[in-house]
Structure 1
Amino acid sequence: MTNSLKLVSAQPKATPGVVASAAYTGGRRVAEIPIEAAGEWSRKPGHVVWIGLHEPGLDLLRQVQKEFGLHDLAIEDALKAHQRPKLEQYGEALFIVARTAQMLNGRIAFGETHLFVGHGYVVSVRHGASTTYTPVRERCEAAPKALSEGEDFILYAVLDFIVDNYMPVIETIQAEVEDIEDSVLSANPTRDQMNRIYQLRRDLLRLRNAAVPLVEVCRRLEQPGLPGVDASMYPHFRDVSDHIRRVQEEIESLREVLAFAFETSLMTGQAQQTEITRKLAAWAAILAVPTAVAGIYGMNFDILPELHWKYGYPFVLLMIAIVCGWLYWRFRQKQWL
């Protein structure tokens, strides 16, 4: 009893890589705990330990592994980013990888969140571009009845937060795509616009590859038999799956619009080249008349019908002007000029 009181009253020292570390019972926070005491708290009946880490080093992960008995392979994956979204079961513990996304400097920046879930504990490990999960913790603490569900509710809350953060990214891209579509239809596309269309399509493909595998993760979380996941939470994970499918539909829609804009820009460019070719051909035809006449006069003939005629030179110039004017008028009628 004395040891417990000491743990509750003592504030853990700040540890690099540790964002938050707390113990909960009945949906309410009862203590800020150090990592070295997390295992003991998680084994207390009715208690859940929730630890948040940000880009931890190997020593910190080994300490967490010691407290909860985590698998070596899961620790190895959590140390290195660039994992595909997945769910792995190691004995009575789950290891989940999810990809996060946010807009930075006009591009989608991706990060990762690794989740260790077992009886009495949840450990989240963030890598790369990712917003803090402090709002998730605050929201859960504001609803103690829901938080009292335990580690599976915390898992749901984190996954739901990750998926919900995809939508601001999509909305930002959607606004830009609408501007690009309007500019492509109203004016000739520039090289920068073409490059931007390509970048957005590539980023959306990466976002789809990050989001869609979470459908399979949630589907597995809905299956009976997974440790720490109660049947009452199945509808919540199904709701997350629905959100992911909506994200997927939005991504596919935006990619189609960008593909249309890209094709339109190509067709516009081709039409512009055709228009230029027509104009050049028309002017070449017009200039061919004085060129031909001048070529005839340049031949070395002593006797030409109009050579010694007083009005021969003005007459030829007049005929050139009449023929060129008539060609110009015809080309304007055919909209070549």
Structure 2
Amino acid sequence: MNVVSPASASTEPVTSDGVIAAGAYVDGRRVANIAIDEAGSWRSKPDHVVWIGLHEPETQLLKRVQQQFELHDLAIEDADHAHQRPKIEQYGDALFIVARTAQLDGDSIAFGETHLFVGEGYIVSVRHGASTSYKPVRERCESCPRALARGEDYILYAILDFIVDNYSPVLETIQVEVEAMEAEVLASAMTRAQIERLYLLRRDLLRLRNAVGPLVEVCRRLEHDNLPMVRPTMRPLFRDVTDHVRTVQERIDSLREVLAFAFEASLLVGQAQETAISKKLASWLAIVAVPTMIAGIYGMNFKHMPELEWEYGYFAVIGAIVTVCAVLFWRFRRVGWL
């Protein structure tokens, strides 16, 4: 799997109306850069495949694409309004697929969407929100015409595989932070800032899992269902993507469990520290109570207290106080309270 991190991903020029690239391919080789309004005619030529990439297109551009490929109104409506759940839908002989993308934006995860229209002789990708450019996918496919010559379903596989691969840099960055946080927890109780960060990490991981999870069903259908535009020879590749998605799920679950254990360990460390402090306070309180009690007794202003007339009474009381306090200190130290 070829992972391209968001930081190093190459970018593609985007026209004012949202077109990133539009090309016609024959036998895996680009034969022309085409205009959107010519896409339908190129697609109708024998053995031609039209590959169009759009980034946050305007409604009018989507309508033009719809006219060229006779796309379903509901699919166009979904592509025009983002915030869709990952899914796969069949409209006649065409497929409409939604996948969620993820990138690190500072200390949090930013999510985006990719909508894919796949039909006879064409594939259209529509990107919304945070997403790495698909230029590396196009370049990799064009560098291997034999693979690209397989057709639209191979391009679909390449894009889905790229989306899943780019979950890895996000998880690797989070894993480094989680491991550092886990080491700090064992050293001392977590601060408020650390607890807040732990909560944000668990929230982002949950959102990422919700974005990744439905892709398993999407890839499963591409692998097992007799869907149009997916040839039997492509099913092992989609099975590979399914395995990658499940691996990502397992990593997310593992990180969330580590964060949960880290929080529980922090609570235990904090409780242990509080218990140790309480023991120390109780020990010193018991030691201080001895001279306090004796001083309180002899501080009572009774007229008849025989010890007050004893010549060595003061020294005896001081000696008793020191002895009892020393015994208590030794005892508390021995049991580990001091």
> % of aligned pairs identical?
67
Match of 1:159 in 2: 160
Partner of 2:10: none
- For residues 240-259 of structure 1, the aligned pairs below 5 Å read 240-259=241-260
Tell me: higher relative CO, structure 1 or 2? Use CA pairs within 8 A at least 6 residues apart: 2
- TM-score, scaled to structure 2: 0.92
List runs of 5+ in structure 1 lacking aligned partners.
Answer: 1-12
Shift, 1:224, TM fit: 4.7
Which residue of structure 2 aligns with residue 220 of structure 1?
221
Task: Tell me the equivalent position of 2:302.
Answer: 301
The secondary structure found in structure 1 opposite 2:307 is coil
Q: Which residue of 2 aligns with 1:61?
A: 62
Runs of at least 4 residues of structure 1 off by over 3 A? 308-311
Post-superposition Cα deviations, 1:262-303, rounded to whole Å, max 9, x if no partner, equal 211111111111111111111111111122122212323112
Q: Check conservation: 1:92, 1:118, Cα contact below 8 A.
A: yes
Classify the secondary structure of the residue corresponding to 2:308. Answer: coil
Matched, 1:133 2:137: no
Q: Deviations over 1:95-133 (max 9, x none)?
A: 101011122212222111111111111111111111000
Q: Is the 8 A contact 2:188 2:266 kept in 1?
A: no
Other-structure match for 1:121: 122
Q: Deviations over 1:36-94 (max 9, x none)?
A: 11122112111111111111121211121122111111111112222111001111211
Number of aligned residue pairs: 325
1:162 positional shift: 0.4
Residue aligning to 2:293: 292
Please give the residue correspondences for 1:66-81 in structure 2 after superposition, counting only pairs within 5 Å: 66-81=67-82
With 227-236 and 311-320 compared, the bigger mean Cα shift is at: 311-320
- Cα drift, residue 221 of structure 1: 1.0
CA contact (8 A) 1:215 1:241 kept: yes
Q: Distance in 1 between matches of 2:196 and 2:48?
A: 53
In 2, are the aligned partners of 1:224 and 1:231 still within 8 Å (CA)?
no
Amino acid at match of 2:195: M
Distance 2:303 2:100 in 1: 89
Deviations 1:164-183 (A, max 9, x none): 11111111122222211222
Runs (5+) with no aligned partner, structure 2: 1-13
The aligned runs of 1:181-330 (5 Å cut-off) are: 181-330=182-331
Q: What letter matches 1:162 in structure 2?
A: I
Q: Contact 2:20/2:53 (CA < 8 Å) preserved in 1?
A: yes
Shift of residue 186, structure 1, vs aligned partner: 2.8
Following superposition, the deviation at residue 223 of structure 1 comes to 3.2
**1-side partners of 2:195 and 2:271: how far apart?**
14
SS of aligned partner of 1:222: helix
State the Cα RMSD in Å: 1.6
Q: 3-state SS of the aligned residue for 1:36?
A: helix
When the two structures are superposed, what TM-score results if normalisation uses the length of structure 1? 0.92
State the alpha-carbon separation in 2 of the partners of residues 295 and 82 from structure 1.
Answer: 75
